[in-house]
Amino acid sequence: MSIETGLIRTTYGQMAERKWSDLPSDLLSPIANRLGLIELLSFRGVCKDWKSASTTASAEIESLPDHEPWFLVYGSNSECILLSNSGKKYTINIPELNGATCLASNKGWLLMFQEGSMFFFCPFSHAKIDLPRFPHSQVTDHVAAFSSPPISQDCLVAVINRSSETTLELNMLCHGAMVWTNHKGYLPRDAIKIIRGATYHDEEFYFFDNSENLVTFSIDKSWNFFVIIPRPKDKFPGINDLPIGRRMRHFIHMNMKNELGLPENVSISTCGTLVHDRIDKLVLNERIEAAEDSISYQLKGVWIQPRFFQVSPNQSW
């Protein structure tokens, strides 16, 4: 390439070669801001100036509508498998995920739980924001959602689980708060089974099971319960449009076990994320069992937009 450039006679008689190293950093930033994750990592490795020009770049392009999420497999050691949306596989060492469980994934941030401590995490940049200690020391059927990126002033986090046959328990944390607030909702197990997906929309948290039930918790602390039905021809009072679509068996439909090269004796529990595919759609959490009669081992996985967030080391909640 460098040999050819010298020989190209431009139409307008420009003979001198432009030095890309002369490009001012305020023009390098708009270039860095338009890079995907892999290209951004490459960009940062070129030279010192280019690295400093990329401090605000976070591969934002990966969170654009119609960009399908990637999938990250993690388990009991630090070696993780990453599958891009174009089918390319990578192995990454991410020690922070060792022994942790992802409760929510949104626009490149993961909400992680590890033995009572909670933190926001970006696995590609290793950016980490610790949260106040969670009131439970273990997670069982816990599912979570957060309203906006953790660095935003109005980030709200909600973690829901079933605390008894008749009640759901929600623990909520506001940006900057030091304690989780506890809210209980009367919702018997036959009304909503296991919650398989959570998201935030228009001042309300939405919690879906994997059939047709929906529970919402609004920021004014009121619970509501809905059944999702196909849209009827006529409008009835009490019927609202569901603003969020669902992808119920995305891992299975995408043949992910095969794509990842996972053996049959592996069971995997996945955490979904919100995607935009004409409308906002929530990829639900799934539990894929290992083939019968096999000694299986458990893996965890999460759908994630591949972002590269850079936060200062003393960034606190």
Partner 1 sequence: MASSSTSVVVSNKEKENKNTKKVTLKSSDGESFEVDESVAMESQTIKHIIEDGCANNEIPLPNVTSGILSRVIEYCKKHKEAAGESEPSVTSYTSNSTTNPLTEWDTEFVKVDQNTLFDLILAANYLDIKGLLDLTCKTVADMMKGKTPQEIRETFHIKNDYTPEEEAEVRKENQWAFE
Applying CB under 8 A, the residues found at the interface with partner 1 are 1-2, 5, 8, 10-14, 16-21, 23, 26-27, 30-39, 41-51, 60-61, 64, 82, 90-93
* Residue from 190, 150, 187, 191 nearest 170 by CA: 187
Amino acid letter, 85: N
Helix (H) or strand (E) holding 39: helix 37-44
User: Least distance in Å: CB of 38 to partner 1?
Assistant: 5
Per-residue tokens: 282: 């929530």
Specify the residue, 10 or 255, whose C-beta has the smaller distance to partner 1.
10
Question: Which residues, 6 or more positions from 152, have their beta carbon under 8 angstroms from its beta carbon?
Answer: 175
Alpha carbon distance 36, 39 (integer Å): 5
User: Least distance in Å: CB of 57 to partner 1?
Assistant: 10
Specify the residue, 53 or 144, whose C-beta has the smaller distance to partner 1.
53
CA distance from start to end of the chain: 48
Specify the residue, 35 or 173, whose C-beta has the smaller distance to partner 1.
35
Specify the residue, 33 or 166, whose C-beta has the smaller distance to partner 1.
33
Specify the residue, 17 or 241, whose C-beta has the smaller distance to partner 1.
17
Per-residue tokens: 235: 């409008």
For residues 144 and 308, is the Cβ–Cβ distance under 8 A? no
Sign (positive or negative) of CA dihedral 37, 43, 48, 54: negative
Burial 305-317 (b: 16+ CB within 10 A, else e): bbbbbeeeeeeeb
User: Least distance in Å: CB of 61 to partner 1?
Assistant: 5
User: Least distance in Å: CB of 283 to partner 1?
Assistant: 22
Specify the residue, 43 or 121, whose C-beta has the smaller distance to partner 1.
43
User: Least distance in Å: CB of 67 to partner 1?
Assistant: 9
For residues 149 and 135, is the Cβ–Cβ distance under 8 A? no
Alpha helices in 175-255 (DSSP H): 250-253
User: Least distance in Å: CB of 39 to partner 1?
Assistant: 5
Specify the residue, 14 or 138, whose C-beta has the smaller distance to partner 1.
14
* Residue from 292, 253, 291 nearest 270 by CA: 253
User: Least distance in Å: CB of 122 to partner 1?
Assistant: 12
The number of angstroms, rounded, from the C-alpha of 147 to the middle of its chain's C-alpha atoms is: 12
Specify the residue, 38 or 151, whose C-beta has the smaller distance to partner 1.
38
User: Least distance in Å: CB of 308 to partner 1?
Assistant: 9
Specify the residue, 11 or 314, whose C-beta has the smaller distance to partner 1.
11
Helix (H) or strand (E) holding 300: strand 297-304
User: Least distance in Å: CB of 272 to partner 1?
Assistant: 24
The string of DSSP codes covering 69-94 is: -EEEEE-SSSEEEEE-TTS-EEEEE-
